[in-house]
Structure formats: structure tokens, C-alpha cells
Chains A and B, each alone.
Chain A
Amino acid sequence: MKNYRDHIPCSMAYATAKRSAGFLTKGSLLVPLLAVLLLSACSTAPIVTGPVEPPLRRYEDLVKPGQPNMLDVKDSVEGFNRGSYRFNYYFDEYLYRPIVRGYEFITPNYVEDRVSDAIDNLGEITNLTNNLMQFNLKAAGITVSRFVINSTIGVGGLWDQAKKMGLNRQTEDFGLTLGHYGSGSGTYLMLPVLGASNVRDTTGLVADVATSNYLGPVAWINDSTFTYAYSGIYAVDRRHRIPFRYRQTGSPFEYELIRSLYTMKRDYDIGQTGEVK
């Protein structure tokens, strides 16, 4: 019984997360952030059912204090995050991937790649702003050239002709820009629907969504139908390109593994900012 009561807040978290997903596309992160604050109370301690006996292999005996451990990532709202991870698993399994599979079934691979290229081309705006903010002028120049070439010769971005000319995509986001200037990652966050992140990268995401809304494709064509269509195609294309499948690790520690690898990958990417790819 105790167990069930403990979980009421988390099931509320799912409901809140579901509703907040709609707001995200409009750039409002207020609701999920509130949810984070409210629901960080989900217990991360096991439920005690009797006199607790310490196990044979104890953490204290095996881990020397101060020894670096990549599994240790700052995770102040772990209870919420694990609930969110679980929500994402069901969301992915029963809604997101079925839609993406449908898209993959009806769309020839060649067309899928054209969609990806077009989405990438429209996304160059945040690469440009972030390269500029990092004062990486060469990368910013390449981004402008890519956009011009791909929008014209590449017919509205459907073909990445610039890449064939040796101009690689200079992917940057505002989370990386913040990291570039020394901002710490803050606590790890598992965002509903959007997946692994942290405070720094979530802030970055909000900024990039705002940039895209005010300067990007959504602003160019001020039409709500276009905005919905763009957001929908963007979401489907994004999942289509990520090979990740939940439970593919076959590990009971998948949450930990994703958290560590996400953090290491972002640290690596921040180390690469300021360079031309």
C-alpha cells in the first residue's frame, strides 16, 4: 500500500508531462520546469520492508573516497528523472515510434533523406547564431555559405550540395555555447518526450527554440498551419535519425548508462567548440 501512495506524485508527473509536451513546441518550458520543482520529491530511496541487513559487497568497502567514477553525475531530481524516463519509454514504444515506423513505411529512403536535409537546412539559423556567439567566425561563415548554397543549388535545402563541396555542417547549440563560456552543466534532467538533458542544455534549448521562432522558419512564414506541419515533421525526422531503442542495452542500469554517456558526450562536444568541423 505504502508503495502505491508513494507513487501518486509520479503518476501525476506523467500527466503533467503529457500536457506540457504540447506547450513545448510553443517555446514555453514553464510547465515542465514547474513539474520538476514540484515533483523532485519522488523518493529515490528503496522501500524498507523489514530489518535492513547490509549486503555482502558494500559500496563503502569497494569505492575509495575521491576516486573519479563516471557513473556519478549530479542528479538532484533523480526521482522525477526516473519517472520521466519511464514515461518516455511508454511514449516512445506506443506513440512516437509507431508514428515514425509508419512514416518510414510509406516514405522511400531517398525521400526520407531529402526531408532530413531540408530540416537541417532550416535549422542552420541556430548554428549561425551560436557560432557567432562563440566568435567562431570561420564556422559562422561556413554556415552562411552552406545555407545559401543548399537553399539555391540544393533546391530549398532538399540536397546537401555544400557538403559535397567540402563544407561540413557546423552544428552548435546554445547549451554548447554556455558550456564554451564555462557554464557548468547543472543537474541532469530527463525531459519528458525530449529525453536526456541537464539544466544548462535545457536553458540552451529554450534559447534555441526562441531564436528559431523569432528568426527562423517559423517567423519567415507566419502561418500556424506551417508551424504545426514544420514541428510535426521535425519531430518525426528527429526520431527517425536517432538509432536509440529503449532497453537495447539489456542492462538494469540503462538509466545510469545513458546519463553518463550523455554527460560525457556533451563534455566532449564542448571541448570541440571553437573548432571548425
Chain B
Amino acid sequence: MKRLLALTLLIVSLLADRPATAAPPQSYFYPFVNPYEATVMELPKEFEVRLPDQVPVYEFVIRPFPHREIPEVFWYEKGLACSLVYQEHKAPLVFLVAGSGSRFDVPRMLKLQKVLYQAGFHVISITSPTHMDFVVNAASGLPGIATDDAKDLYRVMDLAYQKVRDRIQVSQFLLAGYSLGGFDAAFVAKLDDREHHFDFKRVLLINPPVCLYDSVSALDRLLVQNVPGGMDNFDTWFRGVFSETMHLTESWGPGGLSGESMYRTYKRMQPSESNLAALIGLTARMNAADMIFTADVMNGGGYIVPKNVRLTSTTSLTRYATVAYKTSFIDYFEQWLFPHYQKMEPGLTREELLRRETLRSLEGYLKGSGKFGLIHNEDDIILVPGDIEYLERVFGDRAWIFPSGGHMGNMFHPDVVSAITGFLKGKEE
């Protein structure tokens, strides 16, 4: 019976019309089979690639809008910080775009910089257009629409390169990003094909969403559906998770309250799957809230902040914070972003705007251009059913799809690292 089943499966898999993708190496082994665990847990050291302790780095600040008056409530914002990791010799330069809500120097970015440095690249790291630093200093309008975020990113890349061009010798330009940053990279590449400032030789998308709306909905559902008793019970649930976490961690610092460092604390305990899922959703919700509030203030208010008020450095933001954390990206899109775009472009339909938020709108371009590469996981939690098959079809033999790893949990697995550096080096040539 079992043999029959196996045979049937084999036949089915042979018959299934799956285009050839670059197969991951046979040896690929990944310790977490649960995609939520994979997403949250750091890879144990023995599974991880070895990286240098220190790399030569130069941090600098750019101001895309030098005359912009920064609201006093953001008194700590002093331009958009970027970093350059450099080689002493002529080398290709990778622009690396951070994922949703991440700065250029979050732990994942620092590690990716080391991976790329070790492989012989210069790296300019760029904060995500969804991070408040970017929204305050570099966004031209409301953030969240990929085609327009790409224009802002492109302007930042231009300025960043001008700032460092005397320090490094560049042989060619490459572009890479993970998660939302990978998604952004595709739109930036498209823009560059028109503007030709860099003529990117290769563009790598690491664990990008296919349709942004689908992905942010999926992430928000992780929160809403996994808090026992619904969001009205959020407070009780979070306090419970908090004291569970406290039980297990002696060394607590307030530094442990953002995205990745929150996970690091949490991984020490035996977490329930629904708690993990809810924490992933919570991180996404908090990142969105930070962006939405900041964007609202920068654009004159009306959504969360009243119009015609000026917030100062001593203004209480507590009520705005409460509202912002009750606002998902989907709320923002439907209630604020879409009406805002409709006002600017009369006749714009919701469907048309949503098309600017999906890789499907670039399908012909991604398929036809040999410079794109893709790294993804079959069990990535930001994808919806059908996405992986779609990506395999579009990227063909330029797709490296791993069977497990969740959302970027396997990024520093040696097999994934060699896929990243191998593609960017252009081994096939």
C-alpha cells in the first residue's frame, strides 16, 4: 500500500508541469520544520555560515530634501543614515535594501553586509522606505505604493553613491533586497532601465512578497487570529507572554523591545505556535503603525493626528500610539492611501492601485530580463497558496527555492549564502 502511494506520488510529480528551477543542493538540511519557528529562531551557530567579526565600514548621512523642515516631534531625526562597506580594490557595488520597517543597520543587514563583503563586494545599505527615518527624511509623499517608493529609493541611492564615489572603485552595480526590500528592488530596477544611472547588472530578490496586499493581510491575520479571545484581549495576552518571557531571561534591557531582539529573547522559551505567529504579526503591526503615524505627521495629519496642530517634543503621543497600534496596513491602504491617490489621479480605481503593489504587474519584465534572480522558501509565511508556483514560472532557472526556512530564517545557512553570492557574482557567465 505504501509503495503504491509512493509510486502514485512519483508519477504525479513527474506529470506535473513544473518548470525547471535551480535545485537546492541535495545536502540542504534545515533544523526547523515549523515555518513560524523557522522565521523566529536564529539558526544555531553550527548550521550557520562563518562570517568575519569586523568589516571596514563608513557611515554617512544624506538629505534628499535639504530644505525640508523636520517637525519638532521628530527632534532626533537628522538626515537619513546609510552605510558603505568597502573593499580596498576595484569591485562590484551592491545596493542592499532592508526589509519592512528595518534600518540599514539592523542585525540582519549587518550580517548580510558581511556575507557580501566576504564575497568581494562593496555594499551600500539603505533603510527601508517603510522605516520612520526614511519617511521623515526621504519620502516624497505617503509611503506604501511600490512604484513611488521606488522613486524615493532611487533618489537615495543616487545621493548615497555620490557621497562615496571618491572612496571606492566600482566595476559594476548590483541590487539586492530581502522581504519588502526585495520587492522594492524589482521596482527600482524597472525605474533604472529608464533612467540608466546604474544599469544594474544583476538584481536579487530574497524572500519577497508577490502581492504586497496579500502578504500584509496574511501577517496581520497572524496577530488577529492568534490572540486568544481576539484583539480585545490583547493586553491580557501580551502581559502573559511578557511574564513568561521574563521568567526565562535574566538579562533584560529596554533594548529588547524591537523586532529581531524581541525574538532573540523569546526563542529561549518553548513557545507555542500560536504565540509565535501572534508575535510575528505583532511586529509587522507595530512596524506599520510607526510608519503610518510618521507619514501622517509628515503629510499634514488628518488620519491619526488632527489637522492644523503641531506636535512638539513634549507633546503626549500616547493616544496617537494607541490608535496607530490599532491600525493595520490594510486600514491605511483602504481609508487613507487609496483616497489620497484617487485625489491626485482622478479616475484611478482600487484595482489599478493594487496592481502597483504586486510583482505580477512586472511579470513580462521579470520573465524577459536575465538579470533577475530569486531566493525563496516553499514555507514562507508571507506567501499565499499559488505564489511559489507563480514565482517558479516567472523566474525559471534563476529561482533558488528551498523546501523550508520560513520567512528568511535560513538566510545565513551556507547553501542559501552560496546561492546569494553565487548569483550576484554571476557564476553562470
A261 CA to B252 CA, complexed, in Å: 10
- When distances are taken between beta carbons in the complex, the residues of chain B under 8 Å from A86 are 75, 313
**Nearest CB in chain B to that of A46: its residue:** B309
A50 CA to B307 CA, complexed, in Å: 8
Distance between A25 CB and nearest chain B CB, rounded to angstroms: 23
Does any Cβ of B come within 8 Å of A51's Cβ?
Answer: yes
Distance between A108 CB and nearest chain B CB, rounded to angstroms: 16
- When distances are taken between beta carbons in the complex, the residues of chain B under 8 Å from A95 are none
Does any Cβ of A come within 8 Å of B19's Cβ?
Answer: no
Contact flags A226-256 to B (C-beta < 8 A → 1, else 0): 0000000000000000111111111111011
Give the residue of A3, A52, A71, A244 whose beta carbon is less than 8 angstroms from that of B255. Answer: A244
Distance between B116 CB and nearest chain A CB, rounded to angstroms: 23
A6 CA to B290 CA, complexed, in Å: 27
**Nearest CB in chain B to that of A84: its residue:** B314
Does any Cβ of B come within 8 Å of A265's Cβ?
Answer: yes
B293 touches A252 (CB 8 A): yes
- When distances are taken between beta carbons in the complex, the residues of chain B under 8 Å from A187 are none
B314 touches A79 (CB 8 A): yes
A253 touches B336 (CB 8 A): no
**Nearest CB in chain A to that of B258: its residue:** A249
A242 CA to B254 CA, complexed, in Å: 9
- When distances are taken between beta carbons in the complex, the residues of chain B under 8 Å from A256 are 317-318, 321
A196 touches B254 (CB 8 A): yes
A58 touches B323 (CB 8 A): yes
Size of A's binding interface in residues, CB under 8 A: 61
A89 CA to B304 CA, complexed, in Å: 26
Does any Cβ of A come within 8 Å of B10's Cβ?
Answer: no
- When distances are taken between beta carbons in the complex, the residues of chain A under 8 Å from B314 are 7, 10, 42-44, 78-79, 82-83
B254 touches A258 (CB 8 A): yes
- When distances are taken between beta carbons in the complex, the residues of chain B under 8 Å from A45 are 315-316
A248 CA to B103 CA, complexed, in Å: 9
Contact flags B324-338 to A (C-beta < 8 A → 1, else 0): 111100010001100
A-B pairs with beta carbons under 8 A, tally: 171
- When distances are taken between beta carbons in the complex, the residues of chain A under 8 Å from B132 are 250-252
**Nearest CB in chain A to that of B133: its residue:** A250
B248-288 interface (Cβ within 8 A of A): 251-258, 286
Answer whether A242 and B321 are a contact pair too, CB < 8 Å, given A3-B72, A57-B335, A252-B74: no
A53 touches B257 (CB 8 A): no
Does any Cβ of A come within 8 Å of B79's Cβ?
Answer: no
- When distances are taken between beta carbons in the complex, the residues of chain B under 8 Å from A68 are 235-236
A253 touches B232 (CB 8 A): no
B319 touches A59 (CB 8 A): yes
Does any Cβ of B come within 8 Å of A257's Cβ?
Answer: yes
Contact flags A64-75 to B (C-beta < 8 A → 1, else 0): 100111111001
A42 CA to B238 CA, complexed, in Å: 32
A251 touches B76 (CB 8 A): no
Name the residue in A43, A71, A196 with the highest tally of chain B Cβ atoms < 10 Å from its Cβ.
A71
Q: Can you pick out 6 interface pairs between chain A and chain B where the beta carbons lie within 8 Å of each other?
A: A43-B312, A55-B301, A55-B302, A55-B306, A243-B253, A251-B258
**Beyond A246-B76, A248-B255, 14 additional pairs, beta carbon < 8 A:** A3-B72, A42-B314, A46-B309, A46-B312, A48-B310, A53-B306, A55-B323, A57-B326, A69-B322, A70-B238, A243-B256, A244-B255, A255-B317, A256-B321
Interface on B for A, CB 8 Å cutoff? 72-76, 101-103, 131-133, 232, 235-236, 238-239, 242-243, 246, 251-258, 286, 289-290, 293-294, 296-297, 301-327, 331, 335-336
6 closest A-B pairs by beta carbon, nearest first, are A50-B308, A46-B309, A44-B316, A253-B321, A68-B235, A244-B255
